[in-house]
Structure 1
Amino acid sequence: MSDERSASPPTALITGAASGIGSAFARSLAEEGYRLILVDRNGERLKATANALSADCEIMTADLIVDEDVAGVEQRCRDGIDLLVNNAGFGHPTGFLTTAVEAEIAMSRLHTETVLRLTLAALPSMIERGSGGVINIASVLGFFPSSTYSASKAWVINFSQSAARNTRPRNVAVTALCPGFTRTEFHDSAGMNMTKVPGFLWMEADAVVAVALRDWRKRKALSIPGWKNKTIVSLGRLLPLGLIGRMLSSADTRPQAP
């Protein structure tokens, strides 16, 4: 590593940085002295997020289901960063059989193809330097067969764990972060009714991010914040799929059809 790079602050690129867990990552990393590259499709909110931070911020307004926009962020990753946080994502308020296939494809592309492309763009320079890493935002739902959303997050978990095994010997850490219910705008934006979820299951975004960064620095391939979420995942691995399906159906928080 050159003396010039060693003397400069580390750089983190965060997708979906304008709100929720993404903006919590931005706040935490800014406090640690990172230079930030903030990516989101909402340019106005992105500017507001950057202006609220005491950090050197570069803004990239990009819709990461549009190929040209993804290509631009890929190139920024290839230019060299120290941490990539693949956070951008969304869910659907409707079930698998009642969601337009175009919407399902868009979600799948954002959660899988974009994560794949940006991760593979960022890793080579990290491996060459022997430092840095990636945090891919998955979900506790990735351990349960509940929807196409959970299926896409299962892919993120599998992909991240595989990447971690390959990059760990080169001192590069890849972590799949699996949050549970987190207090952000995610559910409201998706039109989901979350009133059935008990209050004790919720975590604050800043607490989730603190666990994620701690586990990433410990080179853990999987980060599940909070003992309650860890318990849910552990029990889920023991229960029969049929029982899990009935439990998920009874706890369905999507709006009901009229």
Structure 2
Amino acid sequence: MAKTALITGASSGLGAEYARQLAAKGADLVLVARDRDALDELARQLRATHRVAVEIMAVDLLKPRQRGKVEQRLADESRPIEILINNAGFGLPLAFERNDIDDEVRHLDLHVEVPMRLTHAALAPMLARGHGRILNVASVAAFIPRSTYGACKGWLVSFSRWANLRYAPRGVTVTAVCPGYTHTNFHERMGLAPGKEGVADLMWLDARVVVAESLRDAGRRKAVSVPSWRYKALTTIARFAPPSLAARIGESGR
């Protein structure tokens, strides 16, 4: 039986790249996002190119009833999900005091509550089978003070580290993926024009490299994957830097 991967935030960016690379490896897919048209087009391309089965779930993960459909799909032992990639997310401006508090709550829910619920739904059948992989897309912001985005991603890294220690001996690995600035439409959705984020060209990563390195790290049962030597160095420095310096690093970019 072909392995099946469920990917949230699959309509674009890293989510779509995970779909392309996993399909190229022969995995069937369940693609989850709000934009049905984008999902339909991606599914069409993947079916034609890789001859894999692609299921679409056009849902808003912040709506409990719609999210519940994804949880039910993950828990369906008759159609097992071998790989779960919690990738859905969005960014907000760093000025917490000026952000709408309801936007901040939605931001917290999507980055913390949603992956927690989906991981919980996926774990029971994975543990019963004795194998499975969960990738939680976090960020290098988890290691650097960066408003509520860094706080949410810090939770995801801490949870993934614990879960990997807990469940890897039973065959289910959990990996927090921590990319830096990556060429996707993530920043455009925040209203930022390409090249206007105030980040040096050297620090930008290719989505294909991020996904390939993270899948390799997950295969090696790593709890945390930090793609590229540049960000490995940055996160190492951040661990030992004075808090004031780490905070200044976190203020770069938007």
| TM-score between the two structures when normalised by the length of structure 2 | 0.94
Q: Which residue of 1 aligns with 2:35?
A: 42
Q: Which residue of 1 aligns with 2:226?
A: 224
1:147-158 matches, within 5 Å, as 147-158=147-158
Q: Contact 2:11–2:39 (CA<8 Å) still a contact in 1?
A: yes
1:65-84 matches, within 5 Å, as 65-79=62-76, 80-84=80-84
SS of 2:175 mapped into structure 1: strand
> CA offset at residue 94 of structure 1?
5.0
Matching of residue 57 in structure 1 with residue 59 in structure 2: no
Provide the identity percentage: 43
Q: Contact 1:143–1:150 (CA<8 Å) still a contact in 2?
A: yes
Matching of residue 111 in structure 1 with residue 120 in structure 2: no
> CA offset at residue 247 of structure 1?
3.5
Q: Which residue of 2 aligns with 1:212?
A: 214
1:233 aligned partner, one-letter code = T
Q: Which residue of 2 aligns with 1:166?
A: 166
Q: Contact 1:93–1:191 (CA<8 Å) still a contact in 2?
A: no
Matches of 1:246 and 1:152, distance apart in 2: 19
Q: Which residue of 1 aligns with 2:87?
A: 87
Matches of 2:224 and 2:237, distance apart in 1: 17
Structure 1: unaligned runs, 5 residues or longer: 1-7
Matches of 1:195 and 1:185, distance apart in 2: 12
1:176-191 matches, within 5 Å, as 176-191=176-191
Q: Which residue of 2 aligns with 1:18?
A: 11
Q: Which residue of 2 aligns with 1:3?
A: none
Matches of 2:224 and 2:94, distance apart in 1: 29
Stretches (4+) displaced over 2 A: 192-195, 246-249
Structure 2: unaligned runs, 5 residues or longer: none
SS of 1:203 mapped into structure 2: coil
Q: Deviations over 1:181-215 (max 9, x none)?
A: 10000001012364411111111111100001100
Q: Deviations over 1:102-135 (max 9, x none)?
A: 0000010000000000001001111111111100
Q: Which residue of 1 aligns with 2:240?
A: 238
1:40 aligned partner, one-letter code = A
| TM-score between the two structures when normalised by the length of structure 1 | 0.92
Q: Which residue of 1 aligns with 2:2?
A: 9
Q: 8, 18, 24: which is aligned to 1:31?
A: 24
- Aligned-residue CA RMSD in angstroms? 1.1
2:24 aligned partner, one-letter code = E
> CA offset at residue 232 of structure 1?
0.5
Q: Contact 2:144–2:249 (CA<8 Å) still a contact in 1?
A: no
2:109 aligned partner, one-letter code = R
Flag the 1:142–1:57 CA change in 2: closer, same or farther, 3 A: same
SS of 2:187 mapped into structure 1: helix
Q: Contact 1:93–1:192 (CA<8 Å) still a contact in 2?
A: no
1:76 aligned partner, one-letter code = R
